[in-house]
């Protein structure tokens, strides 16, 4: 039930402000990591590898990780800090019942008691499996789907409550396509060797789950589940098709939908979860039409097998180690990760997922530098001014559209560090009952989301926990969010010079601001409504410019014959390209930006460009990258650096990029949108 249009930077965890990170102290003093630069690679040929090449060649990916470096892999030291908090708090049983410390500490402790978890096998799940066994009609299927939705599971019905795209003042029900076990619909139809290996591993995983629950003929059961999923997958829109916002919004009356969908009793499902729905947004109607037909054509016993598989998969990591291992054996084929995380690190992730704002409060108290909040707010304000000036100077946009764009720009809400109002978790946590704790927290989260129905959106709510290293733009609320986790080196350091900070967190801020004006964000007005605020001519020009980026990124190679998907990544690529220019313009308003004094032998502009390449320093496993390119809306790290820089005029001047350099583009080929 998450918001459908959050545009995250896709980062997950980093070392905390005021604490030692995985970075060398000398690097933090000098900021330019000279030892990692590969001077044999020309900046104009591959700036990402010029800055990071020596590090890249020597960096080792731990067996329990899929990558190393910055970007989403700064989670290693961050999670160690969270583990330290949890180990300390869970060591005491004297915390007052219902306190944050008691809930967080006892939930962590319950998950760390693997002996007790293993002794129960899959006994905790038997009531749900018995409920499925008792299904004897479609009506029973609907009641089971109600039970699933009440526990944040969405095997066949993908439901969430969030703002109406065309009336952002009210939360409504949205239905989205779901029903699959593989990462994406294309995994069921692609026939390359990598995908075939993943298909086989997934079917083996399903068979193993059935074998562990003593199902007769587990291979047959797995084949039935896979066949249902593949049939559903054929109805799914692709990730590229889902980027067209207006074609994924279909608000209809419930009675009209119930008349059309003969076998999906949506009215009883909504009533069952406590919602009085009269109209809703069905984002991908083709999926529900397909599901409706299959509910009558596929035998009920096969649907029961399907529901068992998805129930087992949903809870496998909370059962005994043989279930957990089965899940990992499948996931490692997709990711390339050869070793499971320690139990403590798995529990850090689980506490953050299910009690993230309680854990976030403890994190902020210990590690967040409050001074960073004001300094980053100043940066955001500076970048807004720079963006306004860029809008004023656009040669392709009319004055009337510029006025609308600037109004939207200055209507953006800024959230920095942590929420002003913390989410609460009114759940009883028992130190001795891990599975029941998970179930209770899932039920609480489902009810938390359902309680939003029919109400105005809570503009104080956050879509990510404070300890997460990420940033996002939410068009429905026209807001940008920068949690405490990202307000640290290499993205931000209060002791760093402006070039480093503007090339780091400044670029991130510019990126998120630009999301308000990317291919999706540009379709929402300043109030968060799906509404055209452009002149027709201006919007046609905008689409033509985004097409240039799509075509350019389609040419970028990732692995052998694997290319970036320009149409799928266009929103993030637009934000990257705009973010650099906006951050640079704001940087040039500072004293250092107007100076030419070198630090550590580098000019201010060189340090700015260096910082951009440094924040995306990452090395990943090939298996992970293949999946990433298929499913992620962001370009791989190398092209988040090289792609925008080949369009960035100051980069050419700073590093004397010349014709003949691999990434050199003639002035007329340098794509600029914002």
pLDDT tens string 303-349: 999 999 999 999 999 999 999 999 999 999 999 999 999 999 999 99
Cα–Cα distance, 157 to 292 (Å, whole number): 11
Tokens 């096969």 sit on residue: 302
What are the contacts of 235-239 at 24+ separation with CB within 8 A? 235/177, 235/284, 235/286, 235/287, 235/289, 235/290, 235/291, 236/177, 236/180, 236/185, 236/284, 236/286, 236/287, 237/177, 237/284, 237/286, 238/185, 238/186, 239/184, 239/568, 239/631, 239/633
Average pLDDT, the chain: 94
Of 650, 587, 469, 545, nearest to 22 by C-alpha is 469
Q: Residue with structure tokens 């020596």?
A: 54
Structure confidence by residue, pLDDT tens digits, 482-536: 999 999 899 999 999 999 999 999 999 999 999 999 999 999 999 999 999 999 9
Residue 629: φ, ψ to 5° = -65, -30
Domain boundaries, the chain: 33-60+370-402+488-669, 125-318
Q: In angstroms, rounded to a whole number, what is the distance separating the alpha carbons of residues 191 and 179?
A: 21
Domain 33-60+370-402+488-669, CATH: 3.40.390.10
pLDDT at 11 over 80: no
End-to-end, the C-alpha distance of the chain in Å comes to: 32
pLDDT score of 500: 97
For residues 364 and 484, the answer to whether their CB atoms sit within 8 Å is yes
- Domain boundaries 125-318, corresponding CATH code: 1.10.1380.10
The reported pLDDT for the residue numbered 9 is: 63
Q: What is the pLDDT of residue 13?
A: 33
pLDDT for residue 22 is more than 60: no
| Digit-coded pLDDT (tens) for 185-199 | 999 999 999 999 999
Mean pLDDT of 375-403: 97
């Amino acid at each position: 039930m998450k918001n459908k249009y959050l545009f995250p930077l896709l980062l997950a965890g980093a070392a905390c402000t005021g604490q030692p990170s995985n970075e060398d102290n000398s690097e933090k003093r000098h900021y330019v990591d000279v030892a990692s630069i590969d001077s044999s690679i020309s900046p104009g040929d591959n700036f990402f590898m010029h800055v990071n090449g020596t590090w890249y060649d020597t960096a080792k990916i731990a067996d329990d990780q899929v990558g190393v470096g910055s970007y989403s892999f700064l989670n290693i030291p961050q999670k160690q800090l969270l583990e330290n908090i949890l180990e300390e708090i869970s060591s005491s049983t004297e915390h007052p019942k219902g306190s944050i410390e008691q809930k967080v500490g006892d939930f962590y402790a319950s998950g760390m008691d693997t002996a007790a978890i293993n002794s129960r096998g899959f006994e905790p799940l038997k009531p749900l499996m018995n409920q499925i066994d008792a299904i004897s009609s479609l009506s029973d299927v609907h009641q089971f789907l109600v039970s699933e939705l009440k526990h944040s599971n969405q095997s066949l019905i993908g439901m969430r409550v969030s703002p109406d795209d065309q009336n952002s003042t009210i939360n409504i029900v949205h239905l989205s396509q779901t029903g699959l076990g593989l990462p994406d619909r294309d995994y069921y139809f692609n026939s390359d060797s990598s995908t075939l290996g993943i298909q086989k591993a997934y079917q083996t995983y399903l068979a193993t789950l059935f074998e562990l629950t003593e199902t007769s003929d587990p291979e047959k059961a797995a084949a039935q589940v896979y066949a249902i999923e593949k049939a559903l997958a054929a109805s799914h829109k692709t990730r590229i098709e889902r980027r067209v916002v207006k074609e994924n919004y279909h608000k209809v009356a419930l009675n009209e939908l119930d008349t059309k969908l003969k076998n999906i009793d949506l009215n009883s499902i909504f009533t069952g979860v406590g919602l009085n729905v009269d109209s809703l947004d069905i984002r991908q109607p083709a999926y529900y039409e397909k599901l409706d037909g299959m509910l009558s054509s596929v035998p009920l016993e096969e649907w029961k097998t399907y529901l068992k598989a998805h129930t087992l998969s949903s809870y496998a990591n909370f059962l005994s180690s043989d279930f957990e291992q089965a899940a990992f054996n499948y996931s490692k084929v997709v990711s390339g990760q050869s070793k499971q995380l320690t139990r403590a690190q798995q529990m850090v992730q689980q506490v953050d997922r299910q009690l993230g704002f309680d854990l976030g409060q403890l994190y902020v108290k210990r590690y967040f530098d409050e001074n960073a909040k004001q300094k980053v707010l100043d940066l955001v304000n500076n970048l807004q001014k720079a963006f306004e000036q860029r809008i004023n100077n656009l040669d392709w946009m009319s004055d009337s559209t510029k006025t609308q764009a600037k109004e939207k720009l200055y209507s953006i809400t800024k959230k920095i560090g942590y929420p002003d109002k913390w989410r609460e978790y009114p759940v009883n946590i028992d130190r001795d009952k891990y599975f029941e704790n998970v179930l209770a927290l899932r039920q609480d989260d489902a009810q938390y989301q359902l309680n939003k129905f029919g109400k105005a959106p809570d503009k104080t709510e956050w879509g990510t926990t404070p300890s997460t290293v990420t940033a996002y733009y939410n068009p429905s609320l026209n807001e940008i969010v920068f949690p405490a986790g990202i307000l640290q080196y290499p993205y931000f350091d209060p002791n760093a010079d402006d070039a480093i900070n503007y090339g780091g967190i400044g670029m991130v801020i510019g990126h998120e601001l630009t999301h308000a004006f990317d291919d999706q964000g540009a379709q929402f007005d300043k109030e968060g409504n799906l509404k055209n605020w452009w002149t027709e001519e201006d919007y046609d020009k905008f689409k033509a410019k985004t097409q240039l980026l799509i075509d350019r990124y389609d040419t970028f190679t990732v692995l052998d014959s694997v290319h970036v998907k320009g149409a799928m990544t266009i929103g993030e690529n637009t934000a990257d390209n705009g973010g650099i220019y906006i951050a640079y313009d704001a940087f040039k308003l500072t004293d250092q930006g107007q100076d030419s004094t070198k630090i550590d032998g580098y000019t201010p502009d060189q340090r700015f460009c260096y910082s951009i390449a440094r924040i995306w320093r990452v090395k990943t496993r090939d298996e992970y990258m293949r999946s990433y390119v298929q499913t992620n809306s962001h370009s791989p790290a190398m092209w988040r650096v090289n792609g925008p820089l080949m369009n960035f005029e100051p980069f050419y001047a700073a590093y004397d990029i010349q014709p003949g350099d691999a990434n050199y583009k003639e002035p007329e080929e340098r794509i600029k949108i914002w």
